[in-house]
Amino acid sequence: SQQGEEDPQALSIQEGENATMNCSYKTSINNLQWYRQNSGRGLVHLILIRSNEREKHSGRLRVTLDTSKKSSSLLITASRAADTASYFCATDDSSYKLIFGSGTRLLVRP
Amino acid sequence: KAGVTQTPRYLIKTRGQQVTLSCSPISGHRSVSWYQQTPGQGLQFLFEYFSETQRNKGNFPGRFSGRQFSNSRSEMNVSTLELGDSALYLCASSVARAGANVLTFGAGSRLTVL
């Protein structure tokens, strides 16, 4: 079963623009993670935010977490064509079972 | 250091057959998780193994099984294959750090059932 629902399902932007994708989840979590997947390959971990954190930065990535609304957002600034991929949020309730959302397909046009 | 290795990368089977997929985790990683990815259902959790024990299990029928060996390598098996089992099967390993279980994924095994 999927814990998270992501919004939008697909996003198309111009290179240089910012991309924002959102994730909502249903149950209590210990942390929330974002992963990236390039065309049917394995997923790559991007960033982890703990339940007691509200915002975290890593390079061009900014993640926010609102546990009261059970939602998170991933912002990619100054996007590049190489950022074209699918992005997934994953929730960790400390059971060592990560549950992934449905994903957002991002297309960055050169 | 070497990443997570999954074999085979591609395979074609027919309905009713069985298949075994293999996963070699990153050295030192004792937890191995398996996921099924399909266009319709997304990423679905299959099971997670730690120290040769199945610690978590998803909502899949008993045709899906797995095991982990003493060297942390893992296999999953699907018996009596159905058309709907066609998917990308992803394996991921981690050090299973409490509160920060970050997964490193392999490239996947793409199964086609005809």
Residue B66 vs residue B100, higher pLDDT: B66
pLDDT for res A95: 81
Main-chain phi, psi angles of A69, to 5 degrees: -100, 0
Interchain CB distance below 8 Å, A2 and B43: yes
pLDDT for res A3: 63
pLDDT for res B1: 66
CA dist A44 → A99, B17, B61, B76 (Å) = 15, 32, 28, 22
Task: Give CA angle at B82 (B104, B85), nearest 5°.
Answer: 20
Residue A74, pLDDT > 60, answer: yes
pLDDT for res A17: 98
Using CA atoms, how far apart are residues B111 and B114, in angstroms rounded to an integer? Answer: 10
Selected residues 11-70 of chain B with any CB under 8 Å from a CB in chain A: 31, 33, 35, 42-45, 48, 50, 55-56, 58-59
Q: What is the pLDDT of residues B54-90, one digit of tens each?
A: 999 999 999 999 999 999 999 999 999 999 999 999 9
Q: Residue with structure tokens 């997964």?
A: B103
The answer to whether B95 faces chain A, any CB pair under 8 Å, is no
Interchain CB distance below 8 Å, A96 and B103: no
Which residues in chain A are contacts of B101 at CB distance < 8 A?
92, 96, 98
Residue B94, pLDDT > 60, answer: yes
